[in-house]
A and B are shown apart, each in its own frame.
Chain A
Amino acid sequence: MLKMRGVAKSFVTDTIKTQALQPFNLDIEQGDFISVVGPSGSGKTTFLNIAGLLEAHSEGQYYLDDEDVTRLSDRQKSSLRNQKIGFIFQSFNLIPELNLIDNVEMPLRYRHFSSKERAQRAQEALLKVGLAGRQTHYPQQLSGGQQQRVAIARALAGSPSFLLADEPTGNLDSQMADGIMSLLKEINEQGTSILMVTHDMEQAKQASRIIEIRDGYLSEHQEALLA
């Protein structure tokens, strides 16, 4: 479902060309749970942004569900993100002025669903993350773990093909982090692919595949399969 061939990323200034990601190939199939590890500044987030169509790659071909996304317009990429990709961020990225239902509904608004369908999908997503009945609460009324659950509900509301999670437990204590990891595994078991950047090797090992990025070079580790 996700195929990258010779994808690379470089940043060019007036005098310097910085190679953030060296050319790499990658295939992700339906139901994969992939952890991306590597030291800070190695290119993990750049890789995630390229996978999530938030940033353009400099070289190579990227196919999402057999569609070459390399030359899509901004509008087409936005539409593809909206329909096929769910994002989960380290700092939750909830809008504090909006209540939970409005936060979760946000992707659905850009898909022009009716208010009835939006509400139904958002309620189902909140139910899935264990926050049914808190729809009218505001993010600041929740704990960090609960806020991340709301962010996961938002990512799930549009029924995406895969979730991109950028250190989803990075701002949580270990108990809350375990809860979020359990939730992600549960979602993965239901068929949604997950690509998760993490610093925590213990969490990384819970994935079915581990990709390491070091100095812009991307390589796949096999120990996850052995774990």
Chain B
Amino acid sequence: MVNYYIKLAWLSLRKTPLLSFLMVSTIAIGIAAAMVTITVGYMMAQDPLPHKSDRVAMVHLNSWDPMQPYGYRRNGKNDIPSTLTYQDAMALLHANKADKHTLFAQFSDMIRAASADIRDAQLHPVRSTTRDFFDMFGAPFIFGGTWSEEADLNGEQVIVLSKHENDRIFGGGNSIGKELLIGTLLYRVVGVIDDWQPTPRFYTHRYLMYQPTLKYFVPLESQIRNELFSPTSMGWSCWGDAPNSTLADLLVSECVWIHMWVEFDSVAKKDDYFGFMSDYSEEQRKIGRFARPEPNRLMTVPEYLKMEGALSNENIMGIGFALAFLLACLCNVMSLMMTKFHGKGGEIGLRRAVGANKKDIIIQFGFESVFIGLVGGIIGLLLAQAGLSVLAEMFSNMHQNVMTMDIYLMLGTIGLAVSTSVLFGLWPIYRASQIQPSSQLNSL
């Protein structure tokens, strides 16, 4: 009977093409609008480190100006910096109390292959970091690997680059051992990472979370030793009136500019580490620093994303509006189904007369609802893809991962269309099954 019901559903759609078009297109538009906003919200709210997000935490120390707070959070409370001073970052790194440590900052410079003409150089932001960055944040290598501990300690001029840049500069081959020029400094390639875009890019500021990952990575110590200082692209904040016009000034200042993340083998170690941070703050207070009252923070990935508002209220409201629009569309579909099924009173009367019971009628029209939902869902999926492409064009600063449906969302789109079509078809189907056969036999 399943084949028969599918055939009847198809014939029914063909019989009333305008009504069918209206129903399918109404579902498709509603589903597309809902899925575009849901996709963006869902992708923004992904756990970027699902296997260890509760064991990886960001260190925030309150080393800020005792005279005024760093800023205010959206709840009106005083904020503390999310980056550290160089001296604090180094102190925590060398204390080595966590299982893994990642410090990072960034600078910008002209980059080209050592053998390339100077006119081929391009200005790129460079991530200056420590060797655990790649492992902690899950960046996959296709050639080589991260640099050595010695490279971190000695500031060796080694570099990891992205597959995209490796393809552009070295034609995509294994470029380990080849050399790049950052400004006038020669850097040796030790690793190439695959296309990698954690969504959201959780380890940085909220306003950078949906932007592409950087393409070059060098040891932080090499930035320090080579005084690679680009004030306009570093993201730093200062207080007081100490000089900070050179990198050397910055290192001894109270300016905050270095992100610090730590990783633990077990969740239990996090509390110990926070205790260590408190002890460190106490020591600093004794020498006249850390005079502000706001406490330090040690936040896991989900905690940090929540605090930063990675999924904003605007996103949630957008999803709400889109679902309300879908609801309005489905109410229209329900009304169209009422019209359609009412128009089939003669057929229902006939089928009931020749032996169909109410359940048979419900199944027949249930299949029709599923069919309408399925076709609407497929078209809605295509419309949503088109909508996401348009959004990706409009918001080119955001990484396309945020505007891309994964397989679960695609299946969810079809599932949502079919289930809502059936749900909103229940009343028309029930009404159809209640048609008194004797009243309709002259209307086929």
Which residues of A line the B interface, CB within 8 A?
45, 49, 52, 54-55, 74-75, 78-79, 81-83, 87, 89-91, 93-95, 97-98, 106-107, 109-112, 154, 158, 166
Instruction: Across the A-B interface, give the 8 residue pairs with the lowest CB-CB distance, nearest first.
Output: A82-B355, A78-B357, A110-B355, A107-B354, A54-B438, A49-B438, A97-B11, A93-B444
Total contacts A-B at CB 8 Å: 71
Cα–Cα distance between A208 and B441 once the two chains are bound (Å): 27
Instruction: Describe B's contact surface by its main secondary structure.
Output: helix
- Give the residue among B347, B356, B437, B441 with the most A Cβ atoms within 10 A: B441
Whether A89 contacts B357 in the complex (CB less than 8 A), given A95-B347, A106-B351, A109-B4, comes out as no
Asked whether A74 lies within 8 Å of B355 as measured between CB atoms, the reply is no
Asked whether B347 lies within 8 Å of A87 as measured between CB atoms, the reply is no
Asked whether B354 lies within 8 Å of A110 as measured between CB atoms, the reply is yes
Contact-residue size bin, chain B (C-beta under 8 Å from the other chain):
20 to 34
B360 at the interface (CB under 8 A from A): yes
Residue in contact with B354 in the complex, picked from A49, A81, A91, CB distance below 8 Å: A81
Asked whether A97 lies within 8 Å of B14 as measured between CB atoms, the reply is yes
Whether A54 contacts B353 in the complex (CB less than 8 A), given A74-B358, A90-B442, comes out as yes
Whether A75 contacts B357 in the complex (CB less than 8 A), given A91-B444, A109-B4, comes out as yes
Other CB < 8 Å A-B pairs besides A83-B355, A87-B441, 4 of them?
Answer: A89-B442, A91-B442, A94-B444, A166-B441
Distance (Å) between the CB of B248 and the closest chain A CB? 85
Asked whether B15 lies within 8 Å of A87 as measured between CB atoms, the reply is no
Cα–Cα distance between A194 and B67 once the two chains are bound (Å): 104
Residue in contact with B355 in the complex, picked from A45, A49, A78, A95, CB distance below 8 Å: A78
Asked whether B359 lies within 8 Å of A75 as measured between CB atoms, the reply is yes
B-chain residues with CB within 8 Å of residue A74 when the two chains form the complex: 357-358
Q: Which B379-396 residues sit within 8 Å CB-CB of chain A?
A: none
Interchain Cβ contacts under 8 Å between A and B, 14 examples: A45-B438, A74-B357, A74-B358, A78-B355, A79-B355, A87-B353, A89-B441, A89-B442, A91-B442, A91-B444, A106-B351, A110-B351, A110-B354, A112-B1
B352 at the interface (CB under 8 A from A): yes
A-chain residues with CB within 8 Å of residue B442 when the two chains form the complex: 89-91
Asked whether A93 lies within 8 Å of B441 as measured between CB atoms, the reply is yes
> Per-position contact with A for B343-366: 1 when CB-CB < 8 Å, else 0?
000110111111111111000000
Asked whether B436 lies within 8 Å of A55 as measured between CB atoms, the reply is yes
Distance (Å) between the CB of B364 and the closest chain A CB? 10
Cα–Cα distance between A166 and B441 once the two chains are bound (Å): 10
Whether A54 contacts B357 in the complex (CB less than 8 A), given A93-B444, A97-B14, A98-B11, comes out as no
Distance (Å) between the CB of A186 and the closest chain B CB? 22
A-chain residues with CB within 8 Å of residue B347 when the two chains form the complex: 95
Asked whether A55 lies within 8 Å of B438 as measured between CB atoms, the reply is yes
